[in-house]
Amino acid sequence: MHISVRHASVSALFAGLLAAFVGFAGSFAVVVQGLTNVGASPGQVASGLMAACVAIGFGSILLSYLRAEPISLAWSTPGLAFLATLPVPEGGFPVAVGAFVVASVLIILSGLWRPLGRAVSAIPKPLAGAMLAGVLLPLCLAPFQAIAQFPSIALPIVVTWAVVGRIKKLLAVPAAVCVAAVLISLNAAPSADAVDLALTRPILTIPAFTVAGVTGIAIPLFIITMAGQNVTGIAVLSSFGYRPDPGAMFRWTGLFSLLIVPFAAPLVNLAAITAAICAGPDVHDDPARRYWAAFTSGILYLAIAVFAGVAVLSLSIAEPILIAAVAGLALLGALASSFVTAVGDVEAREAALVTFLATASGLTFFGIGGAFWGLLAGGALYLWDKRKA
């Protein structure tokens, strides 16, 4: 079944526009923060953001067309939050790009080779939730740290998020982003280099591969993207009665990621929050006609890609803690959900706690970060406790 113009509706078009706006404005600061932390220059960040928007837009259009289901893509927000906790790897940004390539290949393999996909799905939910919570915690502290350092800017941003969130939760972060952009522009003047950044153009980065990059970046990024986004995206679509083929979805998202990461782009994956916007009953009473929302969302993402440099420019003139503050607000909901998942199983609570603390601590051995060691330590405790039981 392919799409038909006769299936389009005003509500579906509006839902698609809302999904794209919320998806981009609500988390593009996380993209900027994550890529910057692993060594990307402002020009590379703009290139990566543009390439990601193209992949999300084209992917959402193509998959919605092929399956006539509201399948929408997004960048890996939890994965980017993980990158935002890392130092610049030894070897610089090319090593991070090499890790992105490896993670993309692993996602493709998980769709081609079922045992790998099952292995990722078999990671105990409390441990996956605890690892994600540990990754998100440092960034979610940033809004309050920013208030201490720049109260005249950070406090209005946080208050806007809180007030708008009480009225319309989906618009809370976009509203905070708008306030942040205005306040930052009033308090800083862009340099000539920053102005040039607004002219977005693709920048090719040749990947470099190291053992530390694979173990410390690629493997945790793969697990976070699969467990925190792709598997969740499948679950969201299933909750609305759709039955996408998980293997095919993993292959597609891994392929799209592999094509764009050389341009400094983050991984893309199945959307979760914006998928709910596109697949819900508010889009249309008939589930078979809701795919137009994801299709429309993809078209808007392609348009947004042209202005990716302007988005990066708006944050390039800000203090890093303010960028982190906006990103942290976008991740508070994910942090809350991760905590609930981590402590939901009483028998696994101690193992989950160890995973969370090791991940959040910033522990590093042999150039490998805390997310890997946290999952390893928590997994060992979990298996030991299950063996005793």
> Looking at residue 29, what is its pLDDT?
79
8 A C-beta contact, residue 265 and residue 118 = no
Cβ partners under 8 Å of residue 292, min gap 6? 3, 7, 8, 9, 12, 13, 16, 64, 70, 283, 284
| Predicted local confidence at residue 367, as pLDDT | 54
Three-class DSSP category at 318: coil
When the pLDDT of each residue in the chain is averaged and rounded to a whole number, the result is 82
Confidence at residue 195, expressed as pLDDT on a 0 to 100 scale = 46
Which amino acid type is present at position 387? R
Percent of the chain at pLDDT > 90 equals: 26
Q: Distance between terminal CA atoms of the chain?
A: 50
Mean pLDDT within 30-59? 91
Q: Could you tell me if 379 and 348 are in contact, meaning their C-beta atoms sit under 8 angstroms apart?
A: no
Q: Give the CA angle between residues 348, 270, 72 to the nearest 5°.
A: 145
Q: Could you count the other beta carbons within 10 Å of the beta carbon of residue 151? A: 10
Alpha-carbon gap, residue 233 to 244, rounded angstroms: 10
Highest averaged pLDDT of the listed ranges 188-202, 207-221, 298-312: 207-221
What pLDDT was estimated at residue 375? 78
Instruction: Assess contact for 249 and 234: CB atoms under 8 A.
Output: yes
**Cβ pair 19, 279 in contact under 8 A:** no
Q: What is the pTM of this model?
A: 0.73
Arithmetic mean of pLDDT, 318-327: 72
For 142-159, the pLDDT digits (tens) are: 889 989 988 888 899 999
Dihedral (CA of 271, 228, 132, 38) sign: negative
- What tokens does 75 get? 């960048």
187, 153 Cβ separation under 8 angstroms: yes
**pLDDT at residue 240 in the model:** 74
Judged against a pLDDT cut of 90, whether residue 4 lies above it is answered with no
pLDDT tier for residue 189 given thresholds of 50, 70 and 90: low
C-alpha R_g of the chain: 20
8 Å CB contact between 275 and 8: no
Cα–Cα distance for residue pair 99/92, rounded to 1 Å? 12
Distance between CA 54 and CA 206 in Å, rounded?
A: 20
The phi, psi pair for 317, rounded to 5°, reads -95, 5
Tallying the residues shown for the chain, one arrives at: 389
* pLDDT tier for residue 178 given thresholds of 50, 70 and 90: confident
